[in-house]
Structure 1
Amino acid sequence: MNRIDADVVVCGGGPAGINAALAAGRTGAKTVLIERYGFLGGMSTAALVYPWMTFHTTGGKQVIAGIAQEIIDRLMAEHASPGHVRDTVGFVRTITPYDPEVYKVLIVDMLREAGVKVLLHSLMDEAVVEGDRIVAVRLATKSGKYEVTAKQFVDATGDADLAYLSGVPCLQGRDGDSLTQPMTMKFRMRGVDLAKVKRYMIDHPDEFYKKTPFDELEQLPLSGVLGYFKHWQEAELPINRDQVLFFTGPGPDEVLVNTTRVQGLDSTKLEDLTEGEIQGRKQVRMVADFMTRNLPGFENASISSVGAQIGVRESRRIDGQYTLQVDDVVSGRTFDDCIARSGYPIDIHDPSGKGVQAAWVQGDGAYDIPYRCLIPKGIVNLLTAGRCISTSHEALATTRLTPSCMATGQAAGTAAGMASAQGISPAEISVEQLQEHLIRDGALLSSGQSSTYSVI
């Protein structure tokens, strides 16, 4: 068996894992990032999750920065993102479009700059556990089995795969029936007349989301659309959803469609995930055909790409030292062990119905994510980041969004690097020192910090 030794191993090459590996590598820890696909980016690239939302509160204050903002700055320098722009859907204040193909290349460059070893085409399928510690993970690869040993591990798989394989207690879905938010197969269309789309919105505001900023729409670049209620209802498609949702870009005549909905399946089960992929791709063809036949502006549009895999909103999450609750989010609660903040609202795509449940953050528009949510029970040298941190089903509906995942990734990677250097467990490091380290690296952990950023 091939063997690699490291200080920190990060499993999962999505935005949370990328930021965790960058943060760990920058502490000086010998870091390995493991990813099953032949490219990095996770849901942002494999499943076409686009745009990133949101780095700001509903009032426009930036509450997520650090490595996440550094990535945006570098994408902007390569003309691969316009930066943070107004959300013309109106659900949040800002969204952040980006070119996923440039992102795939940029993040590898950044990881190499940080000294991180990247292993692609590597499926982590076994955890070697001794007592209450992970000593290694085993990978299935084209060149046989690999064993990667480390002092500290970060689970950024989205599905809590490493935690689950290590025996960490995990939760899944909502209370009562354990159903998760639906999966979505996203796809892009080109040849869209966006000027015609915007004109139709201005002329027919009753057919679109009530929070759409119609008063500003003439001046704002069109970034997203939620609605076409009448068209969708008349079509009577066998998809349990009540509207069309799409976002513009990266191309000038291109949109990303987020309208398919696959419900009642468990993405951690092989046969369910297989069925989800099949249903999702059938729905893509159905929705695209509906859009070209019925929606003003889509008469000459066609499918340009479909996700390499179906997008997963919710699967396993750890039962950690603290479980973030919906009241913590909505009340804008602060925590002494805050390691990240977010301004994204509760956004629950109904596991069995048509709609979306939403609730906005009160107070200054942001809530804290405590360090304890990253720390699982039972295994002392493991941290989590991204979608699988410890939350309730309802709170996950905000922490699962990409900028929030980037922020918890940076925190987990920094903490893992510190724990490795000090020879202690992540639970034993000084939270105050961790917070100081994160702030030095640009993270925003208090409302006072966020007030220094301009309002968009």
Structure 2
Amino acid sequence: MTISELGRRVPVVGEYDVVVCGGGPAGVSAGLSAARNGAKTLIIESEGCLGGTWTAGQLCVILDAHGKGGIMQEITRHLQTSDGHLPRPGRGKYTYDVEMMKYTLDRLCDESGVDVRLYTRVVSAVVEQREIKAVITESYGGREAFIGKAFIDATGNGQFAAQAGCDYSVGHPETGQTQPATVIGIISGVPSDEPGTMNTQDKLAFLELLESVGFVPSYRKPSLWRLPHPDLCCISVHHAYEVPCDDTAALSRATMEGRKQLNEAVRALRQLPAWRQVRLVSTSAHIGIREGRRIAGRYQVTVDDIQSGARFDDGICLVRFGVDVHALTRQEDDEVTSYSQGITVRPYNIPLRALISKDVDNLGLAGRCVSGDFFAHASYRVTPNAVAMGEAIGMAAAKAVSSGVSLPKVDGSQIRRAMMAAGYEI
């Protein structure tokens, strides 16, 4: 059964040099970079805050920030000077205060002259002859259009690129299965002598503690991270398996189940005398999705690249993070002892070409949806790499507009040099 909508005219409410779809770590970075390079820039974000998985998703932890200068370093320094930062063992790892992260991103965008539309979802792309002319959105103001000269998909799931007709891949190459989704909680009242989980051994000990009070988590390596405020911790006990990024019904069920499991975990922990004061303070407003569409770009980052430590003339950052494939099924979560899949990562570059759509000449990509295979994605998907991608493609988009050329014609080696000058190790 279908319903036909009458043809309607959509009002154009803004014209920009660069339009960024998605305001998470990659999107904010792309917007800041484009604006600071002289482009009139808009960020469109569906949630009520910037930050995506950092804020609405309450991820609470930063990994692989070492060697990331530029905007990533700027964000880190803002958090450090605002008591919103707590280092973790290892280089480039820390937890952060979610509300301070929201405020930091708001400030940076405001100071850089980036226009921001919250509560606004991208629903369609107007494409003519391999170029996007406008993005169609839905918001409390109804259906609206924004015209742009260059566009960047930083939606995480590659939603806008798919709407523009771009080719993409999803999931494991043999099964199509995607990594599980997770609802994360913030709790208070954790015993003061509880350090949290620093490694796999700690996670297994936390699993044993949870099971000792009758709670069996769907995530078999549950995590507990101390946050900058001494009374708060981030807790992760939930895995939702086989939930496609575009299946709203499945995502709704998974989100509600995640909240249920967090409440049950906290209720169970209260049985322990030392944990009697534990309370669930908040749950993520948006379920954390580890994997969505991987959009086809001018280059695909592969497992061979990450194993060989590939370097490129247009490399925009250095990725050190290992392959992190969370179990694709509950059975695997019970049986698999390592997320690395036996793949050893040598520090490697992400080339600018992987951030440019092969199908649309004025569409850039940043974050989880860039062009890579299943295993490469499992390495570069952590957020400091998304920030680096956003900074690089935002700069490239601004240069494309100012020079009157298409994105593929931007000199990638020039972007590489600019990223190095900003403090990125390459």
* Equivalent of residue 410 in structure 1, options 379, 391, 408: 391
* Equivalent of residue 237 in structure 2, options 240, 243, 259: 259
Per-residue deviation, 1:25: 0.3
Per-residue deviation, 1:361: 8.3
TM-aligned CA distance change 1:18 to 1:108, over 3 Å? same
Per-residue deviation, 1:80: 1.8
After superposition, where does 1:39-188 map in structure 2 within 5 Å?
39-56=49-66, 63-82=67-86, 85-87=87-89, 93-188=91-186
Per-residue deviation, 1:98: 1.6
Q: Is the 8 A contact 1:332 1:367 kept in 2?
A: yes
* Equivalent of residue 357 in structure 1, options 311, 331, 339: 339
2:415 alignment partner AA: L
SS at match of 2:62: coil
Deviations 1:365-405 (A, max 9, x none): 52211112111221000010001001111111121111111
1:5 alignment partner AA: E
Deviations 1:50-75 (A, max 9, x none): 1111213xxxxxx2121110111122
1:410 alignment partner AA: E
User: Which piece of structure 1 moves more, 269-278 or 400-409?
Assistant: 269-278
Distance across 2 between alignment mates of 1:349 and 1:302: 27
Distance across 2 between alignment mates of 1:106 and 1:15: 12
TM-aligned CA distance change 1:242 to 1:270, over 3 Å? closer
Per-residue deviation, 1:189: 0.9
Distance across 2 between alignment mates of 1:236 and 1:346: 32
Q: Which residue of 2 aligns with 1:209?
A: 200
Q: Is the 8 A contact 1:331 1:361 kept in 2?
A: no
Distance across 2 between alignment mates of 1:40 and 1:13: 5
User: Which piece of structure 1 moves more, 37-46 or 365-374?
Assistant: 365-374
TM-aligned CA distance change 1:48 to 1:126, over 3 Å? same
Q: Is the 8 A contact 2:25 2:387 kept in 1?
A: yes
Distance across 2 between alignment mates of 1:176 and 1:246: 33
Q: Which residue of 1 aligns with 2:191?
A: 193
Deviations 1:271-330 (A, max 9, x none): 111121122122212222333335x85332111111112111111110222221223223
Q: Does 1:419 align with 2:417?
A: no
Per-residue deviation, 1:237: 4.8
User: Which piece of structure 1 moves more, 349-358 or 385-394?
Assistant: 349-358
SS at match of 1:135: strand
Deviations 1:165-217 (A, max 9, x none): 0000011111122111000110011011131x24x99xxx9xx734x7xxxxx
Q: Which residue of 2 aligns with 1:218?
A: none
Q: Is the 8 A contact 1:414 1:438 kept in 2?
A: no
Q: May I ask how many residue pairs the two structures share in their alignment?
A: 411
Q: Which residue of 2 aligns with 1:38?
A: 48
Distance across 2 between alignment mates of 1:267 and 1:236: 31
1:75 alignment partner AA: L
Q: Is the 8 A contact 1:52 1:97 kept in 2?
A: yes
Deviations 1:334-380 (A, max 9, x none): 222201112111111011121451269868x5221111211122100
TM-aligned CA distance change 1:236 to 1:303, over 3 Å? closer
* Equivalent of residue 277 in structure 2, options 291, 300, 306: 300
Per-residue deviation, 1:228: 2.6
Distance across 1 between alignment mates of 2:64 and 2:255: 27
Q: Does 1:437 align with 2:414?
A: no
What stretches of structure 2 of length at least 5 have no aligned partner? 1-10
SS at match of 2:275: coil
| TM-score, length basis structure 2 | 0.91
SS at match of 1:178: coil
Q: Does 1:375 align with 2:356?
A: yes
Per-residue deviation, 1:18: 0.3
Q: Is the 8 A contact 1:55 1:343 kept in 2?
A: no
TM-aligned CA distance change 1:107 to 1:424, over 3 Å? same
What stretches of structure 1 of length at least 5 have no aligned partner? 57-62, 213-224, 446-456
1:209 alignment partner AA: T
Q: Which residue of 2 aligns with 1:451?
A: none
Q: Does 1:249 align with 2:227?
A: yes
| TM-score, length basis structure 1 | 0.85
Superposed CA RMSD: 2.2
User: Which piece of structure 1 moves more, 264-273 or 128-137?
Assistant: 264-273
SS at match of 1:97: strand
SS at match of 1:106: helix
TM-aligned CA distance change 1:347 to 1:136, over 3 Å? same
